[in-house]
Amino acid sequence: MSQLAVGDVVPLFVQLGNGETNRHVRATVRDAEGNALASDLVLTHTAAGLYQYGSFLMPNYSSIVVQYSVYADADLTQLEAAGSETYTRDDLASATQIIVQGPVSAELEPEVLYQGEARGLVFKMVDYDLDGVTEITAKFKKSSGSILEKKFSTGGVSNISIGSQTFKVNLTKADTLSLAVNTEARVVLLLDKSAERRIVEKTIKIKKARFEE
């Protein structure tokens, strides 16, 4: 059993001992009660029988279970192997021992983001005052499977602007070009205030550039 901080990439992978490269591997992520948080995640082959998916971030749950299924056919009818892995939330992941509190509600504008378009994403807090927040981290899924991270810290990075009830994450053209299109991307925001960490989780639709539609 491994520990992950909220917002960390969950290492979803299957290593086939025989090194087969033509299998179809799927993963389902569940909470401790068995409720599905993500289903039918496609693990792609990278090398020598290693299948990976690198875009699922640790949610604000005490633990999650990842269930793996390996199929011989594309129709997913010939199950060859299955297994699972459990991850727990690391509430003391930072050096300052930040305590993860309950989630925070927020409204997001716009609801659609176009690839290749420089845009500011505005988050309006519903039930939380941002005064005193020292750091905000925003994480987005990239088409490569890695994570695009934007961070604001007091006296630091300027790609996030902040007010008492709203903040804006500024994405450049290069940023949006890197995002996976035709998906509903999950955005995880970590709000750090003193020894407290709060979580905002939103989704946003990523579409092709307007002139390509």
Same domain for 125 and 81: no
How crowded is residue 178: how many other Cβ atoms within 10 Å of its Cβ?
18
- Count of helix runs (H) and strand runs (E) in the chain: 1, 17
Same domain for 207 and 186: yes
Same domain for 124 and 45: no
Question: What pTM did the predictor assign?
Answer: 0.48
Same domain for 137 and 196: yes
Report whether 109 contacts 120 (CB < 8 A): no
Same domain for 159 and 107: yes
Write the DSSP assignment of 32-68 as a string of letters. Answer: TT--EEEEEEEEEEEETTEEEE--PBP-SSSEEEEEE
Same domain for 75 and 104: no
How crowded is residue 195: how many other Cβ atoms within 10 Å of its Cβ?
10
37 or 5: which carries more pLDDT confidence? Answer: 37
- Name residue 80's amino acid: E
Measured distance CA(24)–CA(8) in Å, rounded: 25
pLDDT confidence tier of residue 213, bands split at 50, 70 and 90: very low
Same domain for 81 and 120: no
Tell me what pLDDT residue 58 has. Answer: 83
Residue 54 has pLDDT above 90, yes or no: no
Report yes or no on 167 lying in a domain.
Answer: yes
| 155 Cβ neighbours under 8 A, 6+ residues apart | none
Q: Which range among 29-38, 40-49, 191-200 shows the weakest confidence by mean pLDDT?
A: 191-200
Same domain for 208 and 156: yes
Report yes or no on 94 lying in a domain.
Answer: no
Number of domains, the chain: 2
Q: Could you tell me which residues are beta bridge partners of residue 123?
A: 108, 167
pLDDT confidence tier of residue 95, bands split at 50, 70 and 90: very low
Look at residues 204, 180, 207 and name the one whose alpha carbon lies nearest to residue 111.
Answer: 204
- Considering 61, 89, 117, which residue would you say is the last residue of a domain? 89
Torsion of CA 34, 64, 183, 23, to 10 degrees: -90
Q: Which residue segment(s) compose the domain that 45 sits in?
A: 2-89
Tens digit of pLDDT for each residue in 99-116? 445 567 778 888 888 888
Tell me what pLDDT residue 99 has. Answer: 44
Same domain for 118 and 66: no
Same domain for 169 and 117: yes
Report yes or no on 146 lying in a domain.
Answer: yes
Same domain for 105 and 84: no
Report yes or no on 143 lying in a domain.
Answer: yes
- Considering 39, 64, 89, which residue would you say is the last residue of a domain? 89
Tens digit of pLDDT for each residue in 133-156? 777 777 776 666 667 777 766 544
Tell me what pLDDT residue 50 has. Answer: 94
- Name residue 102's amino acid: G
Q: Which range among 55-59, 65-69, 70-74, 146-150 shows the weakest confidence by mean pLDDT?
A: 146-150
146 or 43: which carries more pLDDT confidence? Answer: 43
Tell me what pLDDT residue 52 has. Answer: 93
CATH code of residue 43: 2.60.40.10
Report yes or no on 157 lying in a domain.
Answer: yes
Q: What is the mean pLDDT of residues 10-25?
A: 92
